[in-house]
Amino acid sequence: MPSCHAHLPPLDLERLSAVSVLHGEHRIILRLLDCLDRMAERAAKAHVMPVLEARDVIAVLRGFADECHHAKEERIFFPALERLAPGFGPVRVMRHEHDLGRDHVRGMAIAVDEIDVAGFVHEAQIFSDLLRQHIGKEDEVLFPMAQAMLSPEDDVAILAAYRDASRERPCGPLLARVDTLTAIYGLASADGPHETTSRHSLCGCGSGTVGICR
């Protein structure tokens, strides 16, 4: 196992791999966080709870960020790393941060139900900062380490497991909702309007087509 991630080669994102799939999903989650930030900013300014929009963002955070993305990490990717390096510390930290994030999403949902604008804004800001930092640690530290640890055979097995997970829990409709939220909040992606759809090729179905990811 490498001792210092600073000396690892950069991530290879051109190739479909265990880490490139997760890295692609991070870009979608970051767009969702941009929507959440803007929503919280507007709620704080107007002192009005955007009940429907907030419930929608929370539903997509739970459905995509947690049940599709974090589930892939916790059930497939992290265990693969732990098999290669038992007790692998960075993975323990990442699991803990997922749990912290779930607590804050629960806090946001409670605040929405109680029409507690200040509580919602507070939870949303903490959650957004936490998840952005978490994604930064995975992209910049954990993924380069994992890339160096995983063999081509490991990658093939992990991608097959991602594909199975994507069949059990299709992420397509949730991705379309990310596009809708992005448009509502005027946050068109620098990569163009079809960025999310193109990410279907990274969702784990492996075919590069949208169909399997419905």
- Between 94 and 117, name the residue whose CB sits nearer to Fe ion: 94
- Between 138 and 155, name the residue whose CB sits nearer to Fe ion: 138
Which of the ranges 38-46, 135-143, 160-168, 189-197 carries the binding residues for Fe ion, by CB under 5 A?
135-143
Judge residue 14's burial from the number of C-beta atoms within 10 Å of its C-beta, 0-12 exposed, 13-18 middle, 19 or more buried. exposed
Cβ(86)–Cβ(134) under 8 Å? no
Cβ(110)–Cβ(122) under 8 Å? no
Could you say whether residue 138 binds Fe ion (CB under 5 A)? yes
CA distances (Å), 61 to each of 2, 124, 135, 146, 199, in order? 33, 12, 14, 25, 17
Minimal CA–CA distance to 8: which of 181, 149, 115? 149
Which of the ranges 65-73, 83-91, 170-178, 199-207 carries the binding residues for Fe ion, by CB under 5 A?
65-73
Q: What angle do CA 188, 191, 194 make, to 5 degrees?
A: 75
**End-to-end C-alpha distance for the chain, whole angstroms:** 37
Residue 2 C-beta: closest distance to Fe ion, Å: 20
Minimal CA–CA distance to 62: which of 27, 105, 32, 20? 105
The count of chain residues that interact with Fe ion, using the rule CB under 5 A, is 3
- Between 73 and 179, name the residue whose CB sits nearer to Fe ion: 73
Could you say whether residue 139 binds Fe ion (CB under 5 A)? no
Residue 113 C-beta: closest distance to Fe ion, Å: 27
DSSP 34: H
From residue 91 to residue 120, the character string flagging contacts with Fe ion as x (rule: CB under 5 A) and all else as - is: ---x--------------------------
Which of the ranges 47-55, 89-97, 155-163, 189-197 carries the binding residues for Fe ion, by CB under 5 A?
89-97
Could you say whether residue 53 binds Fe ion (CB under 5 A)? no
Which of the ranges 48-56, 90-98, 152-160, 203-211 carries the binding residues for Fe ion, by CB under 5 A?
90-98
Residue 186 C-beta: closest distance to Fe ion, Å: 26
Alpha carbons 118 and 137: distance in angstroms, whole number: 29
Q: Which residues bind Fe ion (CB under 5 A)?
A: 73, 94, 138
